[in-house]
Amino acid sequence: MGGTEGGTFRRMLRKLTSDVDVLDADDLSQDSEKSGAQAASECACGQEVTVFGRLRSVEFCPQDAEASLEAELFDGTDGITLIWLGRRRIAGIEPGRTMRVRGRLAVREGRKVLYNPYYEICQAQ
């Protein structure tokens, strides 16, 4: 078995024996890299960042609370919490959507956060 064949076999074997979540994270991180976005795991507080990933969760605030919308974006390496202040809903922001977001990264209670990020809803790659 040559070098290339061995690498192909190892990748195929890994796909057959790996957990679905691990494979999904690998695919997301590759898509993120191809799109030219930064890896969320490498983003630091205060940086202007562009991250590409999939929304894992979206939380709508109750009517009696201050208006805000929170979502978790996962790029295969780490999660970033997206918070839109003054918004209760945004059309298209729902779990499973693939997005590119841009903004200045903050850290709140140990979590990476983007407040009112610029966003683009993308087609799944």
Residue in 81, 123, 77 with CA at minimum distance from that of residue 98: 123
Examine the pLDDT at 19 and tell me if it is beyond 70: no
pLDDT of residue 55: 92
pLDDT of residue 11: 60
Q: What is the CATH number of domain 3-122?
A: 2.40.50.140
Q: 51, exposed or middle or buried, with CB in 10 Å at 0-12, 13-18, 19+?
A: buried
Tens of pLDDT along 66-104? 888 999 999 888 899 999 998 888 999 999 999 999 999
Residue type, 94: E
Tens of pLDDT along 32-50? 666 678 889 899 999 999 9
Chain-centroid distance of CA 17 in Å reads 24
Q: DSSP labels for 19-62? A: -HHHHHHHHHHHHHHHTTPPPGGG--TT-EEEEEEEEEEEEEPP
User: What span, in angstroms and rounded, lies between the C-alpha atoms of 8 and 40?
Assistant: 28
User: What span, in angstroms and rounded, lies between the C-alpha atoms of 4 and 13?
Assistant: 14
Residue type, 38: Q
Tens of pLDDT along 101-120? 999 999 999 999 999 999 99
Examine the pLDDT at 1 and tell me if it is beyond 50: no
pLDDT of residue 118: 96
Which of 48 and 5 is assigned the larger pLDDT? 48
User: What span, in angstroms and rounded, lies between the C-alpha atoms of 105 and 115?
Assistant: 8
Which of 34 and 14 is assigned the larger pLDDT? 34
Which of 24 and 88 is assigned the larger pLDDT? 88
